[in-house]
Amino acid sequence: MAKAKNVFVCNTCGHEASKWMGQCPGCRSWNTMVEEVKMTGVTSKKASVLSDDMAMGKVEKLKDISINQDTRVKTGIEELDRVLGGGLVEGSLTLVGGDPGIGKSTLLLQMCQTISNQDLKVLYISGEESNKQIKLRGERLGVDGENVLLYAETSLQHIEQAIKNEKPHILIVDSIQTIYSDVLTSAPGSVSQVREVTSSMMKIAKQLNLSTFIIGHVTKDGAIAGPRVLEHMVDTVLYFEGDRSVSYRILRAVKNRFGSTNEIGVFEMVDSGLREVKNPSEYMLTGKPLGESGSAVTCCMEGTRPLLVEVQALVCSTNFGMPRRTANGTDYNRVNLLVAVLEKKMGMQLGGYDSYVNIAGGIKVNEPSLDLAIVSALASSFKNKAIMDDAIIMGEVGLTGEVRGITQCEKRVIEAMKMGFKTCIIPHANLKHMKNVGEIKLIGVKSVEETLGRIFR
């Protein structure tokens, strides 16, 4: 007979213990152990709605397995296809995370419309909203596809039965924390429930070649709620980034078994839903002031996509004994390091000045090629001299003030040329490897001192 046993499970890593502990022995996280009821002595096999043929696979030779080149399904949203690696893969399991209200459900509901137009059946499982609520949101987004099926249910067993009956091509579960299995006695959203439900969804996706999306809640730190094993089980992990106060959203792939990782898709939130941003560089530079000090443009790489961003700096006299250092959108410690380089190598006495650095538009960039633009913007604000409006600056800065080479420099220069820039300040190490990229003027620099002697108007 089944017996109930109380165990304590870590919300982060899923480690089980017989008693409560302040620190998890598995992942060393604090205050993550929660009590759950675990059934022991269960000998009966869990009933499954899948047939025996579906539940059991077969052994095949690697060389005998044929691959259809058209296994990917286009979602009709180019930015989403880019992040997924070219479209949906049959039998894939994709986890979509992000802050509440950032647009996870909106994007997937818009995807339902484009897929429905391809005569593919979509089953949308909602554990948080009723069918009427989804219908109201669908009317606002213009979603009225005949092949879009809605099912408001939280029981895993009922969902499996609906999948068997409807035989959809695409499955969307919103959200994984609301679905529960009757086999377990713990509450929906607990570690054991999330792990069990995700495992069942993965088996269904692989056995039926069903492309599945599951939406996951995030914690206050921005990580996917539930055990870390959840991200290891799925094929693709997509994160929605961006402030709710700004209109743009970034969809980033941090794990992808079928394509490149760290690819991004840029969307703009409007009244009718999420709209693709075809040229994010132009979007990020909208509103850039001309002829103002403390502003520099650089190019960063997001996956394989070059993206132009504006770096803003403000240096002003401090009213306190200790100057303030603030970094918004980039690494705070890196900004302190670059301020020290300016003080030591360029003789700028910034000890009595507050220094503020901001990446315009709210985007977060941490790659080293941003260094030279930050140094240039700080020096421009300190000297109150404007940088040339048609110049773009990129390069890594070392502690001795040297400018080091960066990766994929040619792609960055081509993107700058497309946006109308006439001068490109790049590391001298990259200059000798550059091919003929067009009419843009390339200036190779070896040090911060050389850079500051060339960028001002």
- State the CATH number of the domain containing residue 404: 3.30.230.10
Instruction: Please report the pLDDT score of residue 43 as a whole number.
Output: 45
pLDDT band at 228 (very low <50, low <70, confident <90, very high): low
> Rounded to 5 degrees, what are φ and ψ at 9?
-120, 140
| Within a domain: 58 | no
Residues 271 and 297 in one domain: no
- Does 119 belong to an annotated binding site? no
| Within a domain: 54 | no
| Within a domain: 51 | no
| Within a domain: 66 | no
Residues 220 and 304 in one domain: no
Which residue type occupies 302?
Answer: E
Residues 313 and 273 in one domain: no
- Does 100 belong to an annotated binding site? yes
Query: Across residues 174-184, what is the average pLDDT?
Result: 88
Predicted confidence (pLDDT) per residue in 29-80, tens digit: 888 888 877 766 554 444 454 544 445 567 888 888 776 655 788 998 999 9
Residues 208 and 314 in one domain: no
Burial of 128 (0-12, 13-18, 19+ CB in 10 A): middle
Least confident span in 140-149, 213-222, 261-270 = 213-222
Instruction: Please report the pLDDT score of residue 370 as a whole number.
Output: 95
- Does 99 belong to an annotated binding site? yes
Contact call for residues 157 and 191 (beta carbons, < 8 A): no
- Where do runs of H (alpha helix) occur along 327-447? 332-346, 371-383, 409-418, 428-431
Domain carrying residue 318: 287-452
N- to C-terminal Cα separation, the chain: 83
Distance CA 269, CA 281 (A): 17
Which H helix or E strand runs over 141?
helix 131-141
Helix 371-383 to helix 332-346 angle (10° resolution) is 60
Distance (Å) of CA 20 to CA 3, 15, 30, 187 = 20, 12, 11, 18
Is a pLDDT exceeding 80 seen at residue 457?
Answer: no
Instruction: Please report the pLDDT score of residue 435 as a whole number.
Output: 76
| Within a domain: 326 | yes
Structure tokens at 418: 């497309």
Burial of 384 (0-12, 13-18, 19+ CB in 10 A): exposed
Distance CA 450, CA 406 (A): 17
Residues 274 and 125 in one domain: yes
Is a pLDDT exceeding 90 seen at residue 359?
Answer: yes
- Does 104 belong to an annotated binding site? yes
Contact call for residues 412 and 445 (beta carbons, < 8 A): no
Instruction: Please report the pLDDT score of residue 254 as a whole number.
Output: 87
Residues 361 and 405 in one domain: yes
Residues 270 and 132 in one domain: yes
Please state the pTM of the whole predicted model: 0.76
Query: Which residue, of 278, 300, 329, is where some domain finishes?
Result: 278
Residues 203 and 241 in one domain: yes
For the chain, how many structural domains are there in total?
A: 3
pLDDT band at 246 (very low <50, low <70, confident <90, very high): confident
| Within a domain: 53 | no
Mean pLDDT of the chain: 87
- For the chain, percent of residues with pLDDT exceeding 90: 50
Which has more confidence, 233 or 55?
233
Residues 134 and 8 in one domain: no
Structure tokens at 343: 């003080």
Range list of β-strands (E), 127-241: 148-152, 170-174, 211-216, 236-241
Sheet holding 211-216, edge to edge: 148-152, 122-126, 170-174, 211-216, 93-98, 236-241, 248-256, 264-270, 273-276
DSSP 296-335: EEEEEEETTEEEEEEEEEEEEE-SSSS--EEEESS-HHHH
Question: Residue 130 maps to which CATH number?
Answer: 3.40.50.300
> Rounded to 5 degrees, what are φ and ψ at 324?
-90, 145
Residues 20 and 122 in one domain: no
Distance CA 309, CA 175 (A): 34
Instruction: Please report the pLDDT score of residue 10 as a whole number.
Output: 82
CA-CA-CA-CA torsion sign (102, 369, 413, 419): positive
Residue 390: helix, strand or coil by DSSP? Answer: coil
Residues 155 and 296 in one domain: no
Structure tokens at 261: 């990782």
Query: Across residues 186-204, what is the average pLDDT?
Result: 86
- Does 259 belong to an annotated binding site? no
Structure tokens at 263: 């690819």
Least confident span in 142-156, 255-269, 295-309, 412-426 = 255-269
Residues 110 and 89 in one domain: yes
Which residue type occupies 58?
Answer: K
Contact call for residues 397 and 341 (beta carbons, < 8 A): yes
Is a pLDDT exceeding 90 seen at residue 325?
Answer: yes
Rg of the chain over CA atoms, in angstroms?
Answer: 26
Distance CA 243, CA 197 (A): 30
Task: Centre a 10 Å sphere on the Cβ of residue 305 and count the other Cβ atoms it contains.
Answer: 17
| Within a domain: 52 | no
Contact call for residues 133 and 276 (beta carbons, < 8 A): no
- Does 101 belong to an annotated binding site? yes
Task: Centre a 10 Å sphere on the Cβ of residue 410 and count the other Cβ atoms it contains.
Answer: 14
Q: What is the DSSP letter of 366?
A: -
Distance CA 369, CA 402 (A): 13
- Does 121 belong to an annotated binding site? no
Contact call for residues 27 and 228 (beta carbons, < 8 A): yes
| Within a domain: 457 | no
